[in-house]
Amino acid sequence: TTTAALERFTVNFTIMNLPYTSDLENPDSAKFRATQRVMNTLLDSLLKESRIGPDFQGCVTTAFRYG
C-alpha cells in the first residue's frame, strides 16, 4: 500500500455574527482560545462530511482578523 502525501490548505471566510474585539488578535487570550475551539469543531465536522472527509486530518485556526 502507498501512503498519501498530506497537503495543507488555507480557508478564509467571514463570520457575520461574531463581533471582532482586540482579544481575537491575541492567541493567548481566553476569547481567542474559546473561539478557536468552536471554529475547529465546526470546521472539522463540516469537512469530515465533505468529499475530502476520508482523507481529512483536522484543522487548526491560526488567526482572526477584522474584515
Q: Which cell goes with 56? A: 481529512
Residue 54 and residue 11: Cα distance in Å, rounded? 19
Q: Are 40 and 59 in contact (CB under 8 A)?
A: yes
The confidence band for 3, taking pLDDT boundaries of 50, 70 and 90, is low
pLDDT at 27: 95
16-61 pLDDT per residue, tens: 998 999 999 999 999 999 999 999 999 999 999 999 898 888 989 9
d(CA 65, CA 22): 9
d(CA 38, CA 2): 34
pTM of the model: 0.79
